[in-house]
Amino acid sequence: MMICDVCRRREAVIFVQQLSMQGKKEIHLCEECAREQGIDASSEKIAMNIENLINGFTAEKKVCSVCGRSLDDIRKTRQVGCPECYSAFKTEVQDMLGKKGIDLPYTGSMPKKLAYFRSLLTDRMAIQTKLKASLANEEYEKAAMYRDFLKTLEKTGRDYLFFTNNSSKSPDVYIEKLAGMNCVISRKQIMTSGDVTIEYLNAAYPGKRVYLVGTEALIKSFREGGIDLVEDDPDIVVIGFDTTLTYEKIVKASDYVRAGAVYLATHPDINCPVENGYITDVGAFCAMISLSAGVGEVKSLGKPNPETVDMAMLRAGWKNRSEIAFVGDRLYTDIAVGVNNGAHGLLVLTGEANMRDVQKSDTKPDAIFRDLSEIGSFLK
């Protein structure tokens, strides 16, 4: 038995269907509810009444993909569930406010869930790349937004670290680039997946022989970190983001893994974002080696793995995971490292992920923001 979509009690006996360029919409009505909506065989305005009913009913059923709040919930409580509600119900909310004579932007307070954050980790590469692009395109307002975000963190007494999964470059390169943007940080304020891997090797495999697939900068960092790098007969194979990758390196790594060497990767990213798109990253390298060597999944360090949170807390002296938030635009690394490891994940919609990705993903951010400036406005 089909139940009426309006009263949710009586049996539906009238079935209304509308076909349009946007697809098919259906409503099932009992006789009484249909009559209340002005739908009966003798009605001269039946077409108009059906259209109004369908449009209104569809809007009521629409829900926010982040918090699940419906338009009906908002109308009843006069409260939205999260910042994304303003995008999901933009037209409807504006219409509701307009009827009340309100045309000002929202200036509400920060949700309690986020108000106590003391520390923020953010992917330095995301900010740096966008800042560089903004300056190159003479988009000075955008460039100022990224700078202002960091200033807001400092003014509100929040610590921060820059973290990037990109293990191809030395941290010193990032420090120098940031200094050129009038953002001076110490070596302790920047971490890479290479740093996490070095820390892990020293703790879990002290003194072991390591074959490293990586750039000269990564090789230098490993040696400075006390890692015994070798070309032959290694105990461990580590795959880094090697922008100088050769076929010979892939063959050697595959042979060593096939022979039983411990198999690690600095991070799991499949692609690395660059100014004009993406380039192949460690995850894709490892897929090739794993297939050749006939082994299972490689153990990755960096985001989203717990070793990243552990090292960040150790380096910064943070004690409470619940007071740490990871900010980024990738669900499976930036957000997952927070929400899966006792911290928090704040998604910004200025990079890889969009709201459709959020809806499909098993990884759900604690909050979603349009950009860094919106986070900054909440933190002030």
Residues 132, 99 share a domain? no
Q: Is residue 325 part of a domain?
A: yes
Residues 142, 87 share a domain? no
Given 271, 300, 329, which residue is the final one in a domain? 300
Q: Is residue 67 part of a domain?
A: yes
Q: Which two tokens stand for residue 287?
A: 């897929």
Q: Residues 58, 25: contact at Cβ < 8 Å? A: yes
Residues 56, 69 share a domain? no
129: CATH? 3.40.50.1000
Q: Which of 260, 303, 67 is nearest to 164 (CA)?
A: 303
CA distance 114 to 94: 26
Query: Does pTM top 0.75 for this prediction?
Result: no
Residues 313, 286 share a domain? no
Residues 203-223: b if buried by 16+ CB within 10 A, e if exposed: eebeebbbbbbbbebbbebbe
Residues 230, 291 share a domain? yes
Q: Residues 120, 327: contact at Cβ < 8 Å? A: yes
Q: Is residue 257 part of a domain?
A: yes
Q: Is residue 179 part of a domain?
A: no
Strand extents, DSSP E, 148-208: 159-164, 190-192
Sequence-ordered list of residues with C-beta below 8 angstroms from that of 50, at least 6 positions apart, any chain: 16, 18, 39
Beta bridge partners of 17: 26
Q: How distant is the alpha carbon of residue 258 from its chain centre?
A: 34
Residues 119, 104 share a domain? no
**pLDDT tens per residue, the chain (380 residues)?**
677 777 767 777 776 665 544 455 567 778 777 777 666 544 444 444 444 554 555 444 566 655 667 777 777 776 666 656 666 777 776 676 666 665 555 444 445 545 545 555 555 445 555 555 555 554 545 556 656 777 777 777 788 888 889 899 888 887 887 776 667 778 888 899 999 999 999 999 999 999 999 999 999 999 999 999 999 999 999 999 999 999 999 999 999 999 999 999 999 999 888 878 889 999 999 999 999 999 988 999 999 999 999 998 988 888 899 889 999 988 999 999 999 999 999 998 887 888 889 889 999 999 998 888 788 777 76
Q: Is residue 181 part of a domain?
A: no
DSSP 306-347: HHHHHHHHHHHT---GGGEEEEES-IIIIIHHHHTTTSEEEE
DSSP three-state, residue 213: strand
In the chain, how many domains are there? Answer: 4
Beta bridge partners of 274: 277
- Domain residues for 285? 194-300
Residues 130, 100 share a domain? no
